[in-house]
Structure 1
Amino acid sequence: MKLRVIKSAVFFFSVFIVFACAQNAQAGFGISPPYVKTIKPIFPGSHYEQTITLLRSSADEDLEAIVKVNAPEIADWISIDKGDVFDLPKNELKIPMVVLIDVPSSAEIGNYQGYINIQVSPKGQGTGGGVAIALGARVDVDLNITKEAFLDFTIRKFDIPDIEMLSKPWSYPIFSRFFYKVKAEITVKNTGNVKVAPTKATLEVYDLNKEILLEAGTDKKIPKVEPFETKTVIAAFPTKLSQGQYWGKIRVYKDDEVVYKDETIFLVNDPGTLGTKLGILPWLMLGGMILLAILFILGLIKIKIWRYVYKVIYVLSWPLRYLFSVLSRIWQAIKRKFWEKMHQKAIKYQKEIQVDKNNDKK
């Protein structure tokens, strides 16, 4: 009897320990968010990504995560950026896991559901026994496939990096218009199911006191962002700013509506301060201009058009030639009068000298 009581006590104590450990293990692991769900329906043939963050309350050891997809209709659509098995390194409490969805172009319109199981255990142990199997989580998958287009986006942040002035010859207006620009970095999150970009972005540049508007520009050619992706795109604005600090105020538009506005300070440095490389494009532009000039001259020579060009210039320059002729005649008349007067004075002077000599002889 006593032996039976002891065995029962040991059994219940063991069960209590196992459940206690399992509950403690579960309490130390979680995921966020616990689902993969499109905000808007997606097209057949499209790509969708969502980041699931694996969380644990302590990271005293290396763990191993095993991912299993349980979604019969769409299992082939789903993959994990890190693979089906990956490590949760020691001392890292948060590990991102990106779920990749590639919808076949032949997929039928409708709703598709399933789930993804994530099991975590000490590295090398797998799911083979022990209480480590209690570390687990489930990610629900809910996808809506449609042929209806949804176009929308949000702006996450923006910044204006410091720039530097251009050195010669690139500082000449013919080049600076293309290569001297203030660039606004705009982080766009595409929440629709088609490629999208802001309709336009406007930038106003003020002095440090925000009192004097120095420049204003508009960029309507902002690169597009793929569906459901977040990407930093560039809005560029030609500038003539000199060295100094400025305030930049930006507005981002969706059609005619301002969906985002902000301001930041940026610096324009002297040439060579940042070591900015313009690349080969300016040199190609310069080479193209020289080549066009050479081809133009060679073309004129080949078609023997110089004589006609000379005649045209000769006719067009008639007013200048007439004016030059008049001025030349006036100049010649002035010179003639001048020398006539000089000659008369010289004769008069000669006579006075002769009279003085005659008087001296007497």
Structure 2
Amino acid sequence: MRKITNLFIIVCLTVLLVPSMVSAVGLGISPSVVEVDTLVRGMQFEKEVMLSRSEASEALSFAVKGEGDIAQWVSTEFGDSFTIPAGQQRFPVTVYVKVPEDAANGEYSGNVRFNAQPGEAREGSGNDVAVLVSAVLQLSLTVTGEQVMDYDVAALEIPALEEGWPLQLVMKIDNQGNVAALPSKVEIEFWDKFKETKIDSTVIGDLSDAEPVGSFSEGEVIVSVEHGLEIGQYWAMVKVYEGTEMIYEDEVIFDVVALGSIDKNAELKNVRLSNNKPAEGELVEVFADVANVDAGHFVGKLMVKVMRDGKLDQMIEGEQFTLPAGSERTVSVILTPEKIGQYELDVFVAYAGKETPHEKLSFVIGLEGAATYVYGAVALAVVLILALIFILIKVMRKTKSAPVMKESMGEPMSKSKKAGKK
């Protein structure tokens, strides 16, 4: 009888625990394995992984832990913990691997483990048992002392442009090397829309103004190309080189449209100074984040109007930059305040014949001591005025009391004189 009772209890507990176990199942990670064999000491690479779960009715918290040879090398954009909000099944996480400066050449392995944290049992649910599950990213790394240039041009495009503006050649690059990727030369031939007549050609042999794509990452290299094309549709025959080797070739169709036809809108945000309290003659860098929130690429410049004590001191024009549609970047200019005064900065970006809303910054050069002196002088003046008022009050009180005493002393004398006469 006791055995039957125990068996019945075990069956009941199993039935009660099944919902908890089922709710915990369904956690995945993609990719689950990352292999990199060209790391160098001191470098950092990043990889985005996607966590997914089958049940998303509640928020789910995770603790992140490094394991193996590289336990101290790994981190995430969220630190060592984060939470997937309720209702979200897929959640991207960027994993960083920082190779120590003193790491020896060789092979390393380890894991990044994402442990789901059991939440509190819901009141009245009857489930007090939680099942701990985790997703594991396996890392296989090789540290070498060699620099490896290894990248592919995945695609080319030339967005529509307005007449009179440089065209933007956009190269999508997948960089698997451990150094930044930037092609060394681009050749372009321009043909009419029927590919019957060659109109022009150009060679860009210096791409140093373009932003390279970082190691172990994907990105875009944007090259600004001057041209004399009129409104119309054209073909561009493009060849891309690394050194003397042609690594990519493609034909791209694009349009030149009338000026003002393409919407361009930029946002200026997070305007800031490298030093909010600079000294006289000290360099100050003005930073700003610029976002392209529309469909067209644009070329812009960061502008800073510098006012000192209410008068125009200088107008600073930053370097020209190109911003692809939907992207964001940080730009900056440097100024050197050489005179004492109150500085007011009017910051904006000029682009496509327009300006972003202006942002204001301010700082003071060399007036701290003067301000202290002024405050001290004011305080001393206040003390002197109070002392003078106090003295005047005392004098006025003495002045008022003197006639009263004379009258009080004189009245009895007059009465005595009158009494003597009688």
- Do the structures match in fold with TM over 0.5? yes
RMSD over aligned Cα atoms? 3.0
CA contact (8 A) 1:67 1:84 kept: yes
**Partner residue in 2 for 1:130:** 129
CA contact (8 A) 2:118 2:130 kept: no
**Partner residue in 2 for 1:60:** 57
Using the TM superposition, give the Cα deviation of residue 278 of structure 1 relative to its aligned residue in structure 2, in angstroms.
5.1
CA contact (8 A) 1:120 1:132 kept: no
**Partner residue in 2 for 1:4:** 3
Using the TM superposition, give the Cα deviation of residue 267 of structure 1 relative to its aligned residue in structure 2, in angstroms.
1.9
The two structures have a TM-score, normalised by structure 1, of 0.64
**Partner residue in 2 for 1:265:** 253
- Distance in 2 of aligned mates of 1:19 and 1:45: 48
Using the TM superposition, give the Cα deviation of residue 208 of structure 1 relative to its aligned residue in structure 2, in angstroms.
1.9
- Distance in 1 of aligned mates of 2:16 and 2:92: 32
Using the TM superposition, give the Cα deviation of residue 264 of structure 1 relative to its aligned residue in structure 2, in angstroms.
3.2
**Partner residue in 2 for 1:148:** 146
**Partner residue in 2 for 1:100:** 96
User: Does residue 51 in structure 1 map to residue 48 in structure 2?
Assistant: yes
**Partner residue in 2 for 1:22:** 21
User: Does residue 114 in structure 1 map to residue 99 in structure 2?
Assistant: no
Of 217, 222, 241, which residue of structure 1 is paired with 2:202? Answer: 217
**Partner residue in 1 for 2:186:** 201
CA contact (8 A) 2:170 2:222 kept: yes
**Shift in CA distance, 68/241, structure 1 to aligned 2, threshold 3 Å:** same
- Distance in 2 of aligned mates of 1:278 and 1:24: 52
**Shift in CA distance, 198/13, structure 1 to aligned 2, threshold 3 Å:** farther
Using the TM superposition, give the Cα deviation of residue 99 of structure 1 relative to its aligned residue in structure 2, in angstroms.
0.9
Given residue 6 of structure 2, which amino acid in structure 1 is its aligned partner? K
Moved more, 45-54 or 11-20: 11-20
**Partner residue in 1 for 2:38:** 41
CA contact (8 A) 1:49 1:229 kept: yes
Say which structure is richer in helix.
Answer: 1
Tell me the number of residue pairs that the alignment of Structure 1 and Structure 2 aligns: 264
**Partner residue in 1 for 2:215:** 227
- Distance in 2 of aligned mates of 1:79 and 1:194: 21
Given residue 30 of structure 1, which amino acid in structure 2 is its aligned partner? G
Moved more, 270-279 or 89-98: 270-279
Moved over 6 A (4+): none
Moved more, 13-22 or 263-272: 13-22
Relative CO higher for 1 or 2, CA cutoff 8 Å, sep ≥ 6? 1
**Partner residue in 2 for 1:246:** 234
**Shift in CA distance, 63/24, structure 1 to aligned 2, threshold 3 Å:** closer
**Partner residue in 2 for 1:89:** 85
CA contact (8 A) 2:65 2:71 kept: no
Using the TM superposition, give the Cα deviation of residue 19 of structure 1 relative to its aligned residue in structure 2, in angstroms.
5.9
What whole-Å deviation, never above 9, does each CA across 1:117-161 have from its counterpart, x for those lacking one?
112246667xxx73341x322222222111022211012333212
Using the TM superposition, give the Cα deviation of residue 202 of structure 1 relative to its aligned residue in structure 2, in angstroms.
2.3
**Whose Rg is larger?**
1
- Distance in 1 of aligned mates of 2:88 and 2:241: 40
CA contact (8 A) 1:67 1:117 kept: yes
Identical-pair percentage: 27
Given residue 189 of structure 2, which amino acid in structure 1 is its aligned partner? E
- Distance in 1 of aligned mates of 2:246 and 2:299: 34
CA contact (8 A) 2:74 2:112 kept: no
Given residue 152 of structure 1, which amino acid in structure 2 is its aligned partner? D
Given residue 93 of structure 1, which amino acid in structure 2 is its aligned partner? Q
1:170-181 to 2 correspondence within 5 Å?
180-181=165-166
What whole-Å deviation, never above 9, does each CA across 1:323-360 have from its counterpart, x for those lacking one?
xxxxxxxxxxxxxxxxxxxxxxxxxxxxxxxxxxxxxx
CA contact (8 A) 1:219 1:236 kept: no
- Distance in 2 of aligned mates of 1:67 and 1:110: 26
**Shift in CA distance, 69/200, structure 1 to aligned 2, threshold 3 Å:** same
- Distance in 2 of aligned mates of 1:217 and 1:145: 41
In the alignment, structure 2 segments of 5+ residues that lack a partner are 122-127, 265-297, 304-315, 318-422
CA contact (8 A) 1:203 1:237 kept: no
SS of alignment partner, residue 75 of structure 1: coil
Using the TM superposition, give the Cα deviation of residue 190 of structure 1 relative to its aligned residue in structure 2, in angstroms.
1.5
Say which structure is richer in strand.
Answer: 2
User: Does residue 162 in structure 1 map to residue 147 in structure 2?
Assistant: no
What whole-Å deviation, never above 9, does each CA across 1:273-327 have from its counterpart, x for those lacking one?
346565479x98xxxxxxxxxxxxxxxxxxxxxxxxxxxxxxxxxxxxxxxxxxx
The two structures have a TM-score, normalised by structure 2, of 0.56
Using the TM superposition, give the Cα deviation of residue 23 of structure 1 relative to its aligned residue in structure 2, in angstroms.
5.5
1:275-294 to 2 correspondence within 5 Å?
279=301
**Shift in CA distance, 244/132, structure 1 to aligned 2, threshold 3 Å:** farther
CA contact (8 A) 2:42 2:99 kept: yes
